[in-house]
Chain A
Amino acid sequence: EAQVTQNPRYLITVTGKKLTVTCSQNMNHEYMSWYRQDPGLGLRQIYYSMNVEVTDKGDVPEGYKVSRKEKRNFPLILESPSPNQTSLYFCASSWGSRAHSTDTQYFGPGTRLTVL
């Protein structure tokens, strides 16, 4: 089944404790992206990747890191989480020809993160 998976689905942690949220897709998509969703703000893009070893900042990249060593995986790293990073996080992927890299995005189920 074609899908985007994220782990963990739920995470409660404390300020400053490094964490990684994994994202994997099995559709051979080139484009992958991370979003955070907060009430009243919709989805805001954190980072995106057009292809392996190519990553770029989105609208709200501060406090986050990503890597794209393999096509299928795009982990989100919080080196020193803070309470303002408490949010619902979504990973997404899409086909990546340069002309149509975000024509249809496939979303993962979400990771609800709470930073105490």
Chain B
Amino acid sequence: SQQGEEDPQALSIQEGENATMNCSYKTSINNLQWYRQNSGRGLVHLILIRSNEREKHSGRLRVTLDTSKKSSSLLITASRAADTASYFCASVSGSARQLTFGSGTQLTVLP
């Protein structure tokens, strides 16, 4: 079963605007990761936030984690057309550190 659910499923914005994607998960996690996928290609790791962290930044990316609500958000600031891609959250849990992906958010940034 899918651990993570993402919201929205699709998001379309203008270049320069901020994009926010949300992810919810069901069980306790060790960490949560965000990946990006360009159409039909492999996933690329963007950022990881551990269960004892609340916020993390990397360039134009900002990730928050609320373990009490079992949710995370990814904010991309000052979006560019090149940010157009699918974004997936992935939660890591259990002793085997199994990675469970959400269904993804398709982001389209219009020039």
Contact = CB atoms under 8 A, between A and B. Distances in A.
Given A107-B42, A110-B41, A110-B42, A42 B98 contact: no
B109 interface: no
A4 B90 CA distance: 19
A109 B88 contact: no
Interface of A: 4, 31, 33, 35, 40-45, 48, 50, 56, 58-59, 88, 90, 92, 100-110, 112
A106 B104 CA distance: 18
Contacts of A43: 43, 88, 90, 101
Nearest to A112: B40
A42 B90 CA distance: 10
Given A41-B2, A110-B40, A100 B88 contact: no
Given A104-B33, A107-B44, 13 more contacts: A33-B99, A41-B2, A42-B2, A42-B103, A43-B43, A43-B90, A101-B96, A103-B48, A105-B43, A107-B35, A109-B41, A110-B40, A110-B42
B104 to A, nearest CB: 6
A44 B98 CA distance: 11
A56 B96 contact: yes
> Interface residues of B: mostly helix, strand, loop or mixed?
strand
Interface string B89-104: 0101000111111111
Contacts of A40: 103
Contact of A48 (B45, B98, B103): B98
> Interface residues of A: mostly helix, strand, loop or mixed?
strand
28 contacts: A31-B97, A33-B99, A35-B101, A40-B103, A41-B103, A42-B4, A42-B88, A42-B103, A42-B104, A43-B43, A43-B88, A43-B90, A44-B2, A45-B99, A45-B100, A48-B96, A59-B100, A90-B43, A101-B97, A102-B98, A102-B99, A103-B92, A105-B45, A107-B35, A107-B42, A109-B41, A110-B42, A112-B40
A42 B42 contact: no
B1 interface: yes
